[in-house]
Amino acid sequence: MSAEDLIPQLTSQTVAGASRGDQLLERYQASLTGVFGTPQAVLVRGSGARVWDADGNEYLDLLGGIAVNALGHAHPLISSVLASQQSTLGHISNLFTSPTQIACAEMLLRLAQAPARSSVFFANSGSEANEAALKAVLKHRQEASKSRILALEGAFHGRTVGALSLTHKPAYREPFGELIEGVEFLPFNDLAALEHRFDDDVAGIVLEPIQGEAGVQPLDADYLLRARELADQHDALMVLDEVQTGIGRTGTWFRHQAVPGLTPDLMTLAKGLGSGFPVGALISFGEKASTLMGAGQHGTTFGGNPAATAAALATLHVIESEGLLEHADGLGAQIAEKLRALPQVTQVRQYGLHLGVDLALPSSASARDLVTLAREQHALIINATGDGTLRLAPPLNLTQEEADEAVTRLSAALTSLTSSSS
């Protein structure tokens, strides 16, 4: 049997009575758990910043798998290294290691400018990376007889139990009752509250340099630096969740590098790291952070396997060799300038190719309506984080022409929504 026989057909195939996409969605709803609601479409292939659905419709993708596809869809090098690695050596467990795992860890430490005796733990996702960081904080809390962990209102760190304990949104937390005790949420960017509530009983503080789920909201540099000072002063760990902001998304390798003098104790990564292949990482800065957990105190079956680390290594290589940090910074600024000129746009927060766009819409419409309309009528895939805010996270190798086309399509979608709602 060939691969083509096993993988569902990738071409458009209309069946009498319903489109192929609608038929597949019916099968989805009959066979998959409903935690994601109803999918917007059935996608069958992609190339760069474009994807095609089961009925052959082409879309321009500014969502990028929620900031995951750093190099777009089906990047030739990522596809090549995955095929090569998988045909050479696939999963081996963490009873063994591989050259790609070692090389990827070394490259991450170099890019993070991590000091001597720093280390990398590979996971499969951002939630898993945050679970590892939280366990390090819990270990420190236990050993130092502390009880409190600080996080921020508006934070999103994942949906596993530990990561959910650090996630603020009540709708995500409340259905599950008590989570990890001792987590306290501070108001976002409130320096006075940070200073008032940080004391010797705090074991760690977990921060996103930019809150993506909250609408691409950045922490002030002063806030981040003061948090670093207070963590040092009170023997607490500073954890930076760079799952979304890392790997060049904001025009620097990691967002905290835009704040001179700021180094975390622990930093979590995922999303863009494998450019679509599932891989996450926890970087521990320095010997103290790297030795918080010893042999047997944490682990993962799949984390750091040869294919995952090959994809990550290739992603890092392409971003570095093709100058995509500078490209993201420059192109993101151009997109932001054009968006600010649209009459329905009230504010744009732009950090590389990580953009939050606030909208002034008719009272009967929302940004979520715009997402649907943009996809259905203008073949544009975007994402809303609230009733009036979009989050854009296109591939870091988005071209100038694609960026211009995206703004044109978004402008047309905004006009359509405004006209139909007024």
Structure-block tokens of residue 277: 């292949």
Q: How many Å apart are CA 271 and CA 255, to the nearest integer?
A: 14
In three-state form (DSSP H/G/I as H, E/B as E, the rest C), the secondary structure along 69-116 is CCCCECCHHHHHHHHHHHHHCCCCCCCCCCHHHHHHHHHHHHHCCCCC
Sign of CA dihedral 149, 153, 155, 156: positive
Are 90 and 261 within 8 A, CB to CB? Answer: no
Contact 128, 300 (CB under 8 A): yes
For residues 330, 326, 304 and 75, what is the CA-based torsion angle, rounded to 10 degrees?
Answer: 70
Q: Which two tokens stand for residue 323?
A: 């100058």
HEC readout, 31-77: HCCHHHCCCCCCEEEEEECEEEECCCCEEEECCHHHHCCCCCECCHH
Q: What is the pLDDT along the chain (422 residues), one digit of tens a residue?
A: 777 777 765 544 555 678 999 999 999 999 999 999 999 999 999 999 999 999 999 999 999 999 999 999 999 999 999 999 999 999 999 999 999 999 999 999 999 999 999 999 999 999 999 999 999 999 999 999 999 999 999 999 999 999 999 999 999 999 999 999 999 999 999 999 999 999 999 999 999 999 999 999 999 999 999 999 999 999 999 999 999 999 999 999 999 999 999 999 999 999 999 999 999 999 999 999 999 999 999 999 999 999 999 999 999 999 999 999 999 999 999 999 999 999 999 999 999 999 999 999 999 999 999 999 999 999 999 999 999 999 999 999 999 999 999 999 999 999 999 988 76
Return the H-helix or E-strand segment holding 263: none
Contact present, 206 and 157 (Cβ < 8 Å): yes
Q: In whole angstroms, give the CA distance from residue 327 to residue 399.
A: 9
Contact (Cβ atoms closer than 8 angstroms) between residue 70 and residue 246: no
